[in-house]
Amino acid sequence: FFLAMVLVLSLVLFANIKIGVVLPMTGGIAAFGDMTWKGIELAQEMYPEVLGEKIDLVLVDNRSEKTEAANAVSRVIDKEKVVAIIGEVASAHSLAGGAVAERKRIPMLTSSSTNPLVTNRKKYVSRVCFIDPYQGAAAAIFAFKNLNARKAAVFIDVEQDYSVGLANFFKKKFQELGGNYFIEFFKTGDQEFSAQLTDAISKNPDVLYITGYYPEISLFARQARMLGFNGPILAGDGAEAPELIKIGGDAVEGLYYTTHFHPKGAATEMTKVFVEKFKEKFGFEPGALHALGFDAYLVLRKAIEIAGKADPKAIAVAIRQVKNFEGATGMITINKNGDAEKSVVIDVVKNGEFTYVTTVNPAAE
């Protein structure tokens, strides 16, 4: 009996804490998965333990697909028996995967899904990033005040909840400020935007606002320039991946986008530590998704600490008790809806590099 007790005790004591990570490691937006994972890897290397136990990460690829986004969450919960999940990247994927996590009562923390519906009326899904009403407003203010735009052509990817939502929040704020807009549609995977662009350009917009992800944005910018549009192009956080510049080339020079982080916009002491360690490990400067992945791991680890045990329900509650936590992207407070309230960074592509412009707080405008 004594021996059995020792065995059980040591199992309990040395059982690692298992966390699932669901990301797009292949498929359309694989660059996002790669960036997020690098941030998570670094965080685990720096903080490998919590409550005296080792944290084990189980990475599963959602192949950049909605059905796989849900399947992958089921898999880490049912097969791997994780106590929490970090994921996913695209809002459509977090909506699909989050529904499963909510039903199975396993906390899921997304690093970068910004559509408000991702956490809406959920107890188990939270995020370490701002939400799109905020991001859309920041873009509208920037377009109106900094770019002096009065007429915007808004391009919407009808397949992405992220894009549809972000475009709507932009429109609302831009109109409020006194600007007007018109809309053009496209969908994920499109390679040809000349019909929409020709129509848009004929209406003489001051700015093209494209909400979507880098594969489409890079081609879109090339075609916009080829068709003779010389004005500013503005995008959302979905623009930032090295591929944007690789594919977009000269056409994305001068492209502005709203995002979460830039190493030059150092927000906290942790930003400096993060940037240093990241460069040491990977040999290049980190971007927004690297920083957000890093923060998601740290916030989840903090929540496990607050919970005092690796219990899914307690962790879910504790995530929303994280206040004024010093992350790489800024001070993180998770509110009762499971959302983080943070400022928006604006970057521009300059000489083939993502360059810091400014940090804005749309709530204050």
Please, what's the b/e burial string for 292-317 (b: 16 or more CB within 10 A of its CB; e: otherwise)?
A: bbbbbbbbbbbbbebbeebebebbbb
- Interaction of residue 89 with ligand PHE, rule CB under 6 A: yes
Of 321 and 355, nearer to ligand PHE (C-beta) is 355
* 3-state SS class at 204: coil
* Cβ-proximal residue to ligand PHE, closest one: 162
Of 55 and 296, nearer to ligand PHE (C-beta) is 296
E strand or H helix at 198, and its extent?
helix 194-202
One residue of 44, 64, 112, 343 binding ligand PHE per CB under 6 A: 112
Interface with ligand PHE in residues 147-186 (CB under 6 A)? 162
Contacts of 175 (CB under 8 A, 6+ apart): 181
What are the φ and ψ backbone dihedral angles of 49, each rounded to 5 degrees? -130, 160
The token duo for 195 is: 């019909």
Binding-site string for ligand PHE from residue 113 to residue 152, where x marks contact by CB under 6 A and - marks none: xxx-------------------------------------
Contact 215, 29 (CB under 8 A): yes
Stretch that binds ligand PHE, among 64-72, 112-120, 143-151, 180-188 (CB under 6 A): 112-120
Interface with ligand PHE in residues 224-253 (CB under 6 A)? 237-238, 240
Interface with ligand PHE in residues 90-109 (CB under 6 A)? 90-91
Contacts of 343 (CB under 8 A, 6+ apart): 130, 267, 330, 359, 360, 361
State in angstroms the smallest separation of the CB of 9 from ligand PHE.
Answer: 43
Peptide bond into 80 cis (omega under 30): no
Binding-site string for ligand PHE from residue 289 to residue 328, where x marks contact by CB under 6 A and - marks none: x---------------------------------------
Of 42 and 304, nearer to ligand PHE (C-beta) is 42
State in angstroms the smallest separation of the CB of 181 from ligand PHE.
Answer: 21
State in angstroms the smallest separation of the CB of 132 from ligand PHE.
Answer: 7
The token duo for 208 is: 């093209």
Of 59 and 89, nearer to ligand PHE (C-beta) is 89
What are the φ and ψ backbone dihedral angles of 169, each rounded to 5 degrees? -70, -35
Contact 347, 257 (CB under 8 A): yes
State in angstroms the smallest separation of the CB of 274 from ligand PHE.
Answer: 16
State in angstroms the smallest separation of the CB of 239 from ligand PHE.
Answer: 8
One residue of 55, 235, 288, 348 binding ligand PHE per CB under 6 A: 288
Contacts of 105 (CB under 8 A, 6+ apart): 124, 312, 313, 316
Contact 299, 109 (CB under 8 A): yes
The site for ligand PHE (CB under 6 A) is made up of 32, 89-91, 112-115, 162, 237-238, 240, 288-289
